[in-house]
Amino acid sequence: MAKLYFSYSTMNAGKSTMLLQASHNYRERGMHTLAFTSAHHHELHGGRITSRLGLSAEAETFGAGTDLFAVIGASHRQKRVDSVFVDEAQFLSPDQVWQLARVADRLGIPVLCYGLRTDFRGELFPGSATLLAIADSLREVRTICHCGRKATMVLRHDPSGAVTTSGEQIAVEKSLYESLCRRHWEDETGRFPAAANG
């Protein structure tokens, strides 16, 4: 039975590398996969999924108005789709997450989503919140803070390097972000006074 999967983490944990490896495994066995990435990344990567290790692959892009169930269904009618991969899944709308759930439930195609859980303010992305609520399988992809603890938060810097705690939720320039443990994120953002943390 096909499932909807969500693998989540902070920045630079290797999500895109995992996606590309999993898709490669399907294709190596003669199976057909579809890969999607957010239109927010089109300018940076030209409709490709790219990893920090230098791996990349062609991908369809999805925007706010993309009906993923319709797009995947049309492709599946032309040529059997064995699996669907979605990078930058935090940028999915709640409706698009439900569309992907229908791909698994009604078309019988596994859907593997990879993305961030929270933004730089410590708040859930709408797509991630819906995936956490309805995905059949959840997996945390771990990376570490500079202190060696598990990184669970994302810090945003402005172009001058200063920490910022306000602004638009979406800004796709990766160099502006840093993955930190919760304690160091609180210290850096001033969300709670450092002295209160002990």
Q: Is the dihedral of CA 181, 183, 185, 188 positive or negative?
A: negative
Partners of 86 in the β-ladder: 36, 113
Tokens of 157: 């810097």
Note the pTM of the prediction, 2 decimals. 0.82
Contacts of 122 (CB under 8 A, 6+ apart): 153, 185, 191
Q: Which helix (H) or strand (E) holds 139?
A: strand 137-140
- Please tell me the predicted confidence (pLDDT) of residue 195: 46
- Please tell me the predicted confidence (pLDDT) of residue 1: 82
Q: Is the dihedral of CA 169, 170, 173, 174 positive or negative?
A: positive
Catalytic residue among 58, 88, 123, 178: 88
How is residue 119 annotated by DSSP? -
All residue ranges of the chain with pLDDT < 50 are: 195-198
Q: Which amino acid is at 124?
A: L
Burial of 134 (0-12, 13-18, 19+ CB in 10 A): middle
Annotated domain spans of the chain = 4-142
Q: Provide CATH code, domain 4-142.
A: 3.40.50.300
For the stretch 104-160, pLDDT in tens is: 999 999 999 999 998 888 889 999 999 999 999 999 988 888 899 998 888 887 777
At 147, give phi and psi (nearest 5°).
-85, -10
At 18, give phi and psi (nearest 5°).
-60, -45
The answer to whether the beta carbons of residues 105 and 2 sit under 8 Å apart is yes
Q: Is the dihedral of CA 121, 123, 127, 131 positive or negative?
A: positive
Q: Which helix (H) or strand (E) holds 163?
A: strand 163-164
The answer to whether the beta carbons of residues 118 and 128 sit under 8 Å apart is yes
How is residue 66 annotated by DSSP? -
- Please tell me the predicted confidence (pLDDT) of residue 114: 94
Q: Is residue 88 annotated as part of the catalytic site, yes or no?
A: yes
